[in-house]
Amino acid sequence: MCAVLAAVLGASLAGCSSTGGKRAEDARAAQAAGGKAAVNTPRWTFAMVTHSGDGDTFWDIVQNGAQQAAVKDNIKFVYAHDKEAQRQSQLVQSYIDQKVDGLIVSLAKPDAMKDVVLKAEKAGIPVITVNSGAEESKAFGALSHIGQDETVAGEAVGEELNKRGKKKALCVLHEQGNVGHEQRCDGAKQTFKGDLQKLYVDGTNMPDVQASIESKLQADPSIDAVVTLGAPFAPTAVKAREQAGSKAEVDTFDLNAQVAAGLKDGSLGFAVDQQPYLQGYEAVDLLWLYKYNSDVLGGGKPVLTGPQVITKKDADALQDYTKRGTR
């Protein structure tokens, strides 16, 4: 691409980079799989409706997992999302109206979703819940729930912090009022032997996230661990730590390419991954298994996709997968 650009603009003017960029990625690539169906079952349509906000990295990976399972299972996969529970339920309703063959929904606000999930079952559409809603899933008549128990994930963080001899941790919440976020911090608080404090930051404003963490670390220099609840905030916390001149270790929930790189170079301690790819992939695959073979996994209990504690030694292997958006 840059060669073309150079030809058009003149080599010096185009100012191509000989390091990094798309060309390096292409050279690295060698992407796997041609994207062919592995089965010859009818082409069913499965719909997924989540409570994701716009441009959420985490849900992007869930979607990638679902899409790849759909290709393999010869499924037509459709996706919609809205972070407002009421509009999310309207989206589910619209898929019921379209008579899809299977539904995958996240139950971040279960009460708002109850009616529409029951409606889907009444219409004969099998439902699988993902990510949030482990407690309600069965009561609402869903086949299975696939996700991570946020409290359990939080507990894993608390234990890992103990193992690392931390005394005072900071839990950085990037969405005030998110139940899952509170559960994570509370879970960590339960198992962590030291003191754990919460800090709310404005998740859509990175400089603000940085300045807030910075000021907290300056206000309390005894903090020796900072736990962020989303991967994009971990590198920001690292910057804040440097600016504040603090020695605190930065750890995080979830994973992305920057976190994998951070684990590798030692700027991050550990990451707790709930493997979002699995949540999307398994949801589609289990719906397919149900349609094809009446199989149900989990026996009414949630199927857990995490927590998986990732440290420096795993980072190398995962780095390529994070770059292609599946981990």
Partner 1 sequence: MSHTDAPPRQPARPSKSAGDERLLHRSLARRLMGRPELGSVVGAIAVFLFFSIAAEPFLRASSLSTVLYASSTIGIMAVPVALLMIGGEFDLSAGVMVVSSALISSMFSYQMTANTWVGVGVSLVVTLAFGVLNGLLLTRTKLPSFVITLGTFFMLTGLNLGFTKLISGTVSTKSIADMEGFNSARALFASHLTIGNVDIQITIVWWIVLVAVATWILLRTRVGNWIFAVGGNADAARAVGVPVTKTKIGLYMGVALAAWISGQHLLFSYDAIQSGDGVGNEFLYIIAAAVGGCLMTGGFGSAIGAAVGAFIFGMTSKGIVYAQWNPDWYKFFLGAMLLLATLLNAWVRKRAEATS
**169 Cβ neighbours under 8 A, 6+ residues apart:** 161, 188, 192, 194, 195, 196, 197, 223, 224, 225, 226, 227
Which one, 144 or 256, has the nearer CB to partner 1? 256
* CB half-sphere exposure, 182, CA atoms < 13 A: 5
Bridging pattern class, strands 127-130 and 145-147: parallel
We find the least distance from the C-beta atom of residue 303 to partner 1, in angstroms, to be: 25
Instruction: Report the residue number, 16 or 309, with the smaller CB distance to partner 1.
Output: 16
Name which of 57 and 311 has its Cβ closer to partner 1: 57
User: What is the DSSP secondary-structure string of 85-119?
Assistant: HHHHHHHHHHHHHTT-SEEEEE-SSHHHHHHHHHH
- Minimum distance, C-beta of residue 87 to partner 1, in the bound complex (Å): 15
Cα–Cα dist 95/50, whole Å: 13
273 alpha carbon, distance to own chain's centre: 8
Minimum CB separation of residue 301 from partner 1 in Å reads: 32
**Distance of closest approach, residue 323 Cβ to partner 1, in angstroms:** 8
Query: Closest distance between partner 1 and the C-beta of residue 239, in Å?
Result: 7
Q: Smaller CB distance to partner 1: residue 183 or 215?
A: 215
Alpha-carbon torsion 164, 168, 170, 171, what sign? positive
**Minimum distance, C-beta of residue 175 to partner 1, in the bound complex (Å):** 12
- Minimum Å gap between C-beta 187 and partner 1 is 18
Nearest to 80 by CA among 110, 45, 104, 116: 104
Which residues of this protein are in contact with partner 1, per CB under 8 A? 1-2, 5, 14-25, 53-57, 60, 176, 197-200, 202, 204-208, 210-212, 214-216, 218-220, 232, 235-236, 239, 243-245, 256-258, 261, 323, 325
The smaller minimum CB distance to partner 1, of residues 15 and 165, is found at 15
Q: What b-and-e string marks burial along 25-39, b requiring 16 or more CB atoms within 10 Å of the CB? A: eeeeeeeeeeeeeee
Where are the extended beta strands (E) located within 184-310? 195-200, 225-228, 249-253, 271-273, 303-304, 308-310
CB-wise, 32 or 294, nearer to partner 1?
Answer: 32
The reply to whether omega before 307 is within 30° of 0 (cis) is yes
Pick 135 or 208: Cβ nearer partner 1: 208
**Across the strands, what pairs with 250?**
226
Cβ distance to partner 1 smaller for residue 94 or 176: 176
DSSP state of 132: S
Helix (H, G, I), strand (E, B) or coil at 14: helix
CA 236 to the chain's CA centroid? 18
Nearest-approach distance from CB 37 to partner 1, in angstroms: 21
